[in-house]
Amino acid sequence: MKSFITYDSESDFSIYNIPFGVAFIAEEYPTCVTRIGDTVIDLAMLYDAGYLDNLGLEENVFEAMVLNPFIELGKSVTVPVREHIQKLFLEGSDLSKDTDLQANAFFDLNDVQMMLPVHVPNYTDFYSSIEHATNVGKMFRDPENALLPNWRHLPVGYHGRSSSIVSSGTALHRPKGQTKPADSDMPVFGPSKRLDFELEMAFITNTYTELGDSVTTENAEDHIFGMVLFNDWSARDLQKWEYVPLGPFLAKNFGSSVSPWIVTLEALDPFRVAGPKQDPEVLPYLKYEGEKNFDINLQVGLTPQDSEETVVCNSNFKYMYWNMAQQLAHHTVNGCNIEVGDMYASGTISGKDENSYGSMLEISWSGQKPVKLKDGQERSFIEDYDTVTMRGWSEKDGKRVGFGEVVTQILPAK
């Protein structure tokens, strides 16, 4: 396929992508959008001009501050809509000749402000990378028994705080809380000294289910609209003191950062791969057929204030031990209901090599091996005014589909 909208061959947003997001256009109004290269297209204007007729869309569905009303229409509508939009962007299409509409509906990326793409009613964070879980277990528990007994039997997860999920470009303040110094019998209060990123991805659901209903691994992907990059910020010193017995609390709920473009599962379909062999055999409700992992290259860059970026991690989503279908099946097997816009993060994505570790906790091995940056500085964890940039993309047979970036600067504690 070739688009009449020009873009760089290395762009994440090729004609094969067609992601969905929400943008504040020219500081005037919010609207649902898609993107080719660095061109952002107002979907509400395409609808008003009649280019999206007879597709089952509700009136004004794209004149919204979130994508939830569109996503809720289900894949019987959203998949044909995406495919139709893709055809509109091809060379020789009617839209390619409609220069008047292009003048009003097409915007340069620099002229729009991207927003959080969905209202997130509920947020769950999983712990599904066996390499990450093993590394953490080695550091904080018995290195010979790094994984807890349940880990290979179910996708471990916890319910997080949806209200503090923010879009790329939103700065976060360093969190404060209790920590317990190793040489003290009593905790102290103050800003976190071990602030960390966690390289994750998240999927977004497109349906409501009733209490008591369960999603199966077979139909789980019918309930998943698409994916975003996810930075699960973590205050490691707060976490170490607070997590027993109920798990993360203040160490996690101060902020999570997501990329603004939702890439659909349909766009990622060509990049499916087999997942790692699961041993021991999982229980029947967690068994699945087909390729449920995705080959998505992931990268993390760290940039000190007024300096240059150092890439500190190159990983891949295909490493995940528990896939999205298993995560959603386990999440709902007890009858837990899901909602449109719910966000489910993967857990930190680490590979086997040190270069692929998805957190500073692992990269610096809890501060024992500081990372040397390009400008000569060293980092064990994230310091004030540092900026963390995460990227994700898939590439195969000359086709590239990506997520862009999620960029966050850390400001001093308030």
The CATH number for 398's domain is: 3.90.850.10
Predicted confidence band of residue 141 (pLDDT cuts 50, 70, 90): confident
- What pLDDT is attached to residue 133? 97
Instruction: Give residue-wise pLDDT tens across range 257-270.
Output: 999 999 999 999 99
pTM comes to 0.97
387 vs 411: CA distance, rounded Å: 9
Q: Provide the 8-state DSSP code for 13.
A: B
Does residue 387 share a domain with residue 287?
A: yes
Q: What single string gives the DSSP state of each residue in 138-197?
A: HHHS-GGG-S-TTTTTS--EEE--GGGEEETT--EEPPEEEE--TT-SS-EEEE-S-EE-
Instruction: Give residue-wise pLDDT tens across range 338-389.
Output: 999 999 999 999 999 999 999 999 999 999 999 999 999 999 999 999 999 9
Range of the domain at 318: 123-411
Instruction: Give residue-wise pLDDT tens across range 87-101.
Output: 999 999 999 999 999
Domain finish residue from 88, 114, 140? 114
Beta bridge partners of 107: 40
- For residue 232, say whether it is annotated as part of any ligand binding site: yes
Average confidence score pLDDT of the chain = 97
Instruction: Give residue-wise pLDDT tens across range 251-298.
Output: 999 999 999 999 999 999 999 999 999 999 999 999 999 999 999 999
Total number of domains constituting the chain: 2
Exposure letters 253-272 (e unless 16+ CB within 10 A, then b): bbbbbbbbbbbbbbbbeebb
- For residue 239, say whether it is annotated as part of any ligand binding site: yes
- For residue 200, say whether it is annotated as part of any ligand binding site: yes
User: Does residue 15 lie in a domain region?
Assistant: no
Predicted confidence band of residue 115 (pLDDT cuts 50, 70, 90): very high
Does residue 171 share a domain with residue 203?
A: yes
- What pLDDT is attached to residue 226? 98
362 vs 370: CA distance, rounded Å: 10
Burial of 207: CB neighbours in 10 Å, binned 0-12, 13-18, 19+:
middle
Does residue 34 share a domain with residue 93?
A: yes
User: Does residue 344 lie in a domain region?
Assistant: yes
- For residue 357, say whether it is annotated as part of any ligand binding site: no
- What pLDDT is attached to residue 334? 98
Residue whose C-alpha is closest to residue 221's, from 237, 236, 205: 205
- What pLDDT is attached to residue 300? 98
- For residue 362, say whether it is annotated as part of any ligand binding site: no
- For residue 158, say whether it is annotated as part of any ligand binding site: no
Instruction: Give residue-wise pLDDT tens across range 366-377.
Output: 999 999 999 999
Does residue 93 share a domain with residue 52?
A: yes
Q: Is residue 153 annotated as part of the catalytic site, yes or no?
A: no
Counting residues of the chain whose pLDDT is more than 70, the rounded percentage is 100
CATH number of the domain encompassing residue 91: 2.30.30.230
Does residue 239 share a domain with residue 327?
A: yes
Which residue carries 């009733």 as its tokens?
210
Predicted confidence band of residue 82 (pLDDT cuts 50, 70, 90): very high
User: Does residue 1 lie in a domain region?
Assistant: no
- What pLDDT is attached to residue 140? 84
Instruction: Give residue-wise pLDDT tens across range 321-336.
Output: 999 999 999 999 999 9
Q: Which position among 84, 119, 132, 223 bears the catalytic label?
A: 132
305 vs 303: CA distance, rounded Å: 6
- For residue 127, say whether it is annotated as part of any ligand binding site: yes
Strand pairing report for 157-159 and 234-235: unpaired
Which residue carries 């993967």 as its tokens?
346
- What pLDDT is attached to residue 22? 98
Kindly give, in sequence order, each residue whose CB lies less than 8 Å from that of residue 116, ignoring residues fewer than 6 positions away: 22, 66, 165, 166, 167, 258, 260
239 vs 31: CA distance, rounded Å: 38
Domain finish residue from 68, 85, 114? 114
Domain finish residue from 81, 114, 147? 114
Cβ of 55: how many Cβ atoms within 10 Å?
A: 15
Length of the chain (residues) = 414
Strand ordering across the sheet containing 310-316: 172-173, 399-411, 387-396, 297-303, 310-316
- What pLDDT is attached to residue 320? 98
Strand pairing report for 256-258 and 297-303: unpaired
- For residue 243, say whether it is annotated as part of any ligand binding site: yes
Does residue 307 share a domain with residue 178?
A: yes
Cβ of 137: how many Cβ atoms within 10 Å?
A: 17
The helix (run of H) or strand (run of E) holding residue 403 is strand 399-411
